[in-house]
Structure 1
Amino acid sequence: MSGFRTLGCVSRSWWLESGVGSAFKTTGFGTEARHQRQPQGSSKWLGTPGNQPFPGLLQPECLSREKLVDVLRASVVDQKGKPGELTLLSVLPELSQSLGLGERELQVVQASEKESSGLVLLSSCPQTASRLQKFFTQSRRAQRPIATYWAVTDGIPTTSEGKIQAALKLEHIDGVNLVVPVKSPSRKDILEGVKRTLSYFRVVATGSGCALVQLRPLTVFPSQLQVHMALQLCPVLGDHRYSTCVGTVLGQRFLLPAESIKPQRQVLDEALIRCLHLTPSQVAQLPLHLHLHCLHLPGTRPRDAPIELLAPLPPYFSRTLRCLGLRQQ
């Protein structure tokens, strides 16, 4: 297998709902892989907390196209084979040239979802991209998770580990596309776009009413992990869309019906805000604490050992763990 590159801690957040053609936001590109050295020069892009809306989160306007290409090139954590608007896709041609790929074009093979951070797997070889996609499909069919996410949740799951199963569908509610759960889906529902989803979870640490959770999805659906944690009444910190489906009365949490969900700023307990040392304006800009930490890929040749690619947490995520006293194991 040849021709793939892996970027590290990239937040694929788009400021507009369209998903493309908007500002690209980076959140600390320090990365590493098994048997790979730590790329140098990434920390200078982090800025200082005093001039940022949220500590450890870089403002999109701070990067030029040239600087973004430099950051992406420095973020390559593994490399096999020969070496308009500010979005990841828009700078791929320049990144290809910067990496000395000539006429070969980079394409995204695997990436974290919109608003989350983590690994982005790129390939300049169509055969490699096709082989990896086939590997991902076979792994899902065999129920072998190939991706591991870290999440900080507002609330602590009632069990330390388990699986979350839910039938989900995409609905257009009040002008917004939302993923909603479907109880007891029929065969007609499945044919009309409802999908049965499954994720494994494990609570790694708890503190200040929050939890550090390891998530391993076995299916792929938009916003699957955010919705799964909301169904556990423990929405992901910084989830300003699906956290609103969790209501609280007299300290007890409950799930609101899907039709009542309206995306809005996540409401946090005052004690939690103090623990995080955030101002009200910073709470409103709290980034999603969901990070694609690890990808398991097949070896270069059939007899080679599998490859494990890792991306350390972005600065804002690490800061939150320190503030809450959560230790990653």
Structure 2
Amino acid sequence: MRTNLTREMCGCRILDPLWAGWWRGSGACAARRVGGFGAEARHQSHPRDSSKRSRSLGNQPFPGLLQPENLSREELIDVLRASVLDQKGKPGELTLFSVLPELSQSLGLGEQELQVVQACGKETSGLVLLSSCPQTASRLQKFFAHSRRAQRPTATYWAVTDGVPATSEGKVQAALKLDHVDGIDLVVPLKSPSRKHILEGVKRTLSYFRVVATGSGCALVQLQPLTVFPSQLQVHMVLQLCPVLGDHRYSARVGTVLGQRFLLPAESTKPQRQVLDEALLRRLCLTPSQVAQLPLHLHLHRLHFPGPRPRDAPIELLAPLPSYFSRTLQCLGLHQR
């Protein structure tokens, strides 16, 4: 998996060899128990050269959204280093993985290599866990894998959807495969996968969802994946006929006739810019041309995992919403019940 660096990041040191941060945020928060999506950050960081990055924002309609071409490699390292708010231990296309060696050196870790323990998807904002200790990384990865097998969710996402799910809560199950079409990797659902399909890379996926708020024909949805597959949550919401706002890859699979939504064949539907109706554009204060830059409103909001010692209470991390995400909630009147 490759995570593009398209947002400002801040984070906090949680365990001795473990860091947590998030994309597209402006603060950091770590707590044993967390309630609601609107909790304020308890720490703020101000990376060097922040004025240079703030100037790049201009008057764009998506506050907090940085353009990757405006970041140099050195500026990216500065942002990442500034994201560590509490460090108690040893001190091409821009991606998190491509700069891990420099980040490790910048943090004074010497020969220790940083590893990605848990990360959000390429276009998704939210928490990212890094570790400089192979044993800690292995222990946590085993914990996440065991939790998935036991169908215990460890990650909670927030999404704004164009449309409201038919039920207030439920689960989405789908067999998904990854196809390479016209130079683009696309996830395609299969209705009745055979054993041969499963052996060829088709995966049975599962996500829980709960509608938190509705307004203006949209919804704020809590999502908890029980499996891991590229673009799983976006595709699952499309199967509910409610694509995630800013999904310019899969939203075209939802068609509308006389106000009724239906699924178009995934195999023959090419990705295109998401189409929003005029009323929704007015609520979001966007022009049709600005929709192409609308970021994906999918945010890895919360993670929980065991404490550093067996008797320690579980740790739960909360990532504040990016400013453009919060602005969208305000524009649509989506408030937590």
TM-score normalised by L of structure 1: 0.89
Question: What is aligned with 1:38?
Answer: 43
**CA 1:53 to 1:274, structure 2 compared with 1: closer, same or farther past 3 Å?**
closer
Aligned-pair CA distance for 1:55: 3.7
**CA 1:53 to 1:100, structure 2 compared with 1: closer, same or farther past 3 Å?**
same
Q: Which stretch shifts more, 93-102 or 108-117?
A: 93-102
The answer on 1:6 being equivalent to 2:6 is: no
Question: What is aligned with 2:254?
Answer: 246
Hey, what's the Cα distance between the residues in 2 that align with 1:108 and 1:48? 28
Structure 1 SS opposite 2:164: coil
Hey, what's the Cα distance between the residues in 1 that align with 2:156 and 2:86? 18
| 1:308 alignment partner, one of 299, 313, 316 | 316
AA of the residue aligned to 1:32: C
Hey, what's the Cα distance between the residues in 1 that align with 2:139 and 2:83? 23
The answer on 1:28 being equivalent to 2:25 is: yes
Aligned-pair CA distance for 1:80: 6.8
The sequence identity of aligned pairs, in percent, is: 80
AA of the residue aligned to 1:120: V
Q: Which stretch shifts more, 303-312 or 185-194?
A: 185-194
The answer on 1:219 being equivalent to 2:233 is: no
Hey, what's the Cα distance between the residues in 1 that align with 2:181 and 2:188? 10
Aligned-pair CA distance for 1:309: 1.0
Question: What is aligned with 1:168?
Answer: 176
The CA deviation string for residues 143-196 of structure 1, in whole angstroms up to 9 with x for no partner, is 111100000000000111111111111122344221111112121221111111
**CA 1:133 to 1:78, structure 2 compared with 1: closer, same or farther past 3 Å?**
farther
Hey, what's the Cα distance between the residues in 1 that align with 2:234 and 2:166? 17
| 1:115 alignment partner, one of 107, 116, 123 | 123
Q: Which runs of 5+ in 2 are unaligned?
A: 1-14, 33-40
Question: What is aligned with 1:62?
Answer: 70
Q: How many residue pairs get matched?
A: 312
Structure 1 SS opposite 2:193: coil
Question: What is aligned with 1:289?
Answer: 297
The answer on 1:197 being equivalent to 2:208 is: no
Hey, what's the Cα distance between the residues in 2 that align with 1:103 and 1:57? 34
The CA deviation string for residues 69-88 of structure 1, in whole angstroms up to 9 with x for no partner, is 22222323666744455322
Q: Which runs of 5+ in 1 are unaligned?
A: 11-26
TM-score normalised by L of structure 2: 0.87
Hey, what's the Cα distance between the residues in 2 that align with 1:325 and 1:74? 34
**CA 1:79 to 1:134, structure 2 compared with 1: closer, same or farther past 3 Å?**
farther
AA of the residue aligned to 1:3: P
Aligned-pair CA distance for 1:32: 1.2
The answer on 1:259 being equivalent to 2:264 is: no
Structure 1 SS opposite 2:44: coil
Hey, what's the Cα distance between the residues in 1 that align with 2:87 and 2:211? 33
Aligned-pair CA distance for 1:94: 2.4
Question: What is aligned with 1:133?
Answer: 141
Aligned-pair CA distance for 1:295: 0.8
Q: Which stretch shifts more, 220-229 or 105-114?
A: 105-114
Structure 2 SS opposite 1:119: strand
Q: RMSD of the TM alignment (CA)?
A: 2.1
Q: Which stretch shifts more, 111-120 or 75-84?
A: 75-84
Hey, what's the Cα distance between the residues in 1 that align with 2:224 and 2:88? 26
Aligned-pair CA distance for 1:299: 0.7
Aligned-pair CA distance for 1:61: 2.9
Hey, what's the Cα distance between the residues in 2 that align with 1:249 and 1:271? 17
Any conservation in 2 of the 1:32–1:77 contact (CA below 8 Å)? no
Matches within 5 A, 1:30-109: 30-34=27-31, 37-41=42-46, 45-47=53-55, 50-52=58-60, 54-76=62-84, 81-83=89-91, 86-109=94-117
